[in-house]
Amino acid sequence: MIKMSVKGPILFIVKRAIALYLIVVLSVYITIVIANLGGYVDRITQAQILEDITFTIKRDPQYRGLPPEEVDRIIRDTYELELKKLGLDTPFIVRSFRYLVNGLTLDLGRALYLTSDTGSRQVKLIILERLPQTVMLFTTASVLNFFIHLFLGLYLSRHYGGKLDKLFIALSPTSIVPGWLYGLFLIMIFASILRVLPYGGYVDVPPPDDPVSYGLSVLKHMILPLSSWIISGFFMGVYGSRTFYLIFSTEDYVTVAKAKGLPPRIIERRYILRPALPPVITSFSLGLIGSWGGAIITETVFNWPGLGKVMRDAINSMDTPVIVGEVIIYAYLLAITVLLLDILYLFIDPRIRARFR
């Protein structure tokens, strides 16, 4: 790799990170404004404060002897005072910034009904403990898709115009159907009819004790969700990357390389694959970003305990704090993904690197 100065790229990444963070701030702010059109954010915060105060006062020995009405009155008064102190009796525009800071620092309040696996009611914990499962499933799906499209695309571009090529073109409209819908059919075939794979979930119930069979059990549960995404992206993805390689393989420098008598493998790797990589990576990153949104439905279909499943549970029980919290986590997740991909570009796209030379 060509040596480059370190300062330029780092500055570039820092700038990108700041810009992305500003977009997260904007997303969170819009979330708050939309949610509070119906007063939902106010209620989340107020419920949290009221619960905290009730808890402290009921625990406080100095109030213990008082009649219940008196304690209730004290709780009310303290609550009103606290609202004033926190500036929550101010107009929405002022309050909204307080909520913004809460949202950005992931101080998401308490869930109304849902609890985390550890029994906590903290929205942050409920959501974050599900994050690894989502990232694991959908990153695997995107990476698998990437390599399948890459290699099959290359193969097809080599056999351009053949029967297989025509078949892929003809079948590429099937990719319009999203993974979750294929998932429904996969469950029907492999779980309901053949009964060889689980209907959904993360591990067997009860989970196996030793780590190896635990891992195998998780893998078994991943087969159908992964397959549904692979089927959905298959024909269009392969067709798309094959077209990229074809476009690059008609460049003059490829003709020259062929005339020079370079072996086809080298031509493929150095002259076709290399320049095609940035657009291919772009489609990979779009796929990955799309998968975070698609996760909500796919996880619901496969009962996969990730972010999407939490979302569905929150919708079913109208757990507003969790729903709002999810949107904020998604904003972060999306921005972090974009930033990581920007850094990846830095390595693979010489045009970006050239700016810092």
Partner 1 sequence: MSASGELSIKSIVREVLTYRSGQVGAAILLFLIGLSIYAVIAIPYDRAIALWRGEESCWIEVPRNAMPYWYKYIMRKNLPETIVVDGLRGDPGVIKAVTEIPGTNIKRILLEISFTYDYDDFPSEVNLFFYANYSESLPLIKIYWIKPDGSNIPLISYTIRRPYTILYLTINDDVQKSLLEFVRSNVGEPKEYIEPQLIMFAVNDETMLSAKTAKILKSTGSQIRKYTLRIEGMLFGKDSDLNAKLVVYGKVYGFAGTDHLRRDVSIALLWGTPIALAFGLTSSLAISIVQLIIAVISGWYGGKVDFIIQRLTEIYMIIPFLPFLIMISSLYRLTIWVLVAVLLVLSIFGAGVKSTRALVMQVKEEPYIEAALAYGASSRRIIFLYIIPKILPPMIPGLIGSVPGFVFLEASLAFLGLGDPFLPTWGKVINDAFSNGAFYKGYLWWIGLPSIMLILTAISFALIGFALDKIVNPRLREW
Which residues contact partner 1 (rule: CB under 8 A)?
20, 23, 26-27, 30-31, 34-35, 37-38, 40, 170, 172-174, 176-178, 180-181, 184-185, 187-188, 191-193, 199, 243, 246-247, 292-294, 296-297, 300-301, 311-312, 314-316, 318, 320, 323-324, 326-327, 330-331, 333-335, 338
The residue among 40 and 79 lying less far from partner 1, judged by its C-beta, is 40
Judged by beta carbon, residue 83 or residue 191, the one nearer partner 1 is: 191
Nearest to partner 1 of 111, 333 (CB atom): 333
3-state secondary structure of 206: coil
Torsion over CA of 133, 136, 137 and 142, rounded to 10 degrees? Answer: 150
Both tokens assigned to 320? 């507003």
CA distance 175 to 183: 13
Quote the least distance from Cβ 318 to partner 1, whole Å: 7
Q: Which residues contact 108 (CB under 8 A, 6 or more apart)?
A: 102, 122, 123, 124, 127, 321, 324, 325, 328
Closer of 277 and 341 to partner 1 (Cβ): 341
**Minimum distance between the CB of residue 175 and partner 1, rounded to whole angstroms?**
8
> Distance between CA atoms of 196 and 59, rounded to whole angstroms?
54
β-partners of residue 122 are: 110
Q: Which is nearer to partner 1, 150 or 295 (CB)?
A: 295
Phi, psi of 110 (to 5 degrees): -110, 145
Q: Cβ closer to partner 1: 122 or 285?
A: 285
Alpha-carbon span 239 to 346, nearest angstrom? 26
Distance CA 208, CA 215 (A): 9
Identity at 102, one-letter amino acid code: N
User: Nearer Cβ to partner 1, position 30 or 219?
Assistant: 30
Is the CB of residue 227 less than 8 Å from the CB of residue 143?
A: no
Query: Quick one: 14 or 34, whose CB is closer to partner 1?
Result: 34
Minimal distance in Å, beta carbon 181 to partner 1? 6
CB of 330 to partner 1, least distance (A): 4
Tokens 């279909």, located at residue: 301
The minimum distance between CB 209 and partner 1, in angstroms, equals 27
Residue 33 contacts by C-beta under 8 Å, 6 or more apart in sequence?
A: 96
Q: Closest by alpha carbon to 332, among 62, 9, 86, 105?
A: 105
In angstroms, give the least distance from the CB of 323 to partner 1: 5
Cβ 151 to partner 1 shortest distance, Å: 19
Closest distance between partner 1 and the C-beta of residue 65, in Å?
43
Q: Is 110 in a helix, a strand, or coil?
A: strand
Q: How far is the CB of 272 from partner 1 (least distance, A)?
A: 15
Q: Report how far residue 272's alpha carbon sits from residue 246's, in angstroms, rounded to the nearest whole number.
A: 8
Q: Which helix (H) or strand (E) holds 306?
A: none
Cβ proximity to partner 1, 183 vs 275, nearer residue: 183
Taking alpha carbons only, the member of 285, 270, 297, 289 closest to residue 334 is 289
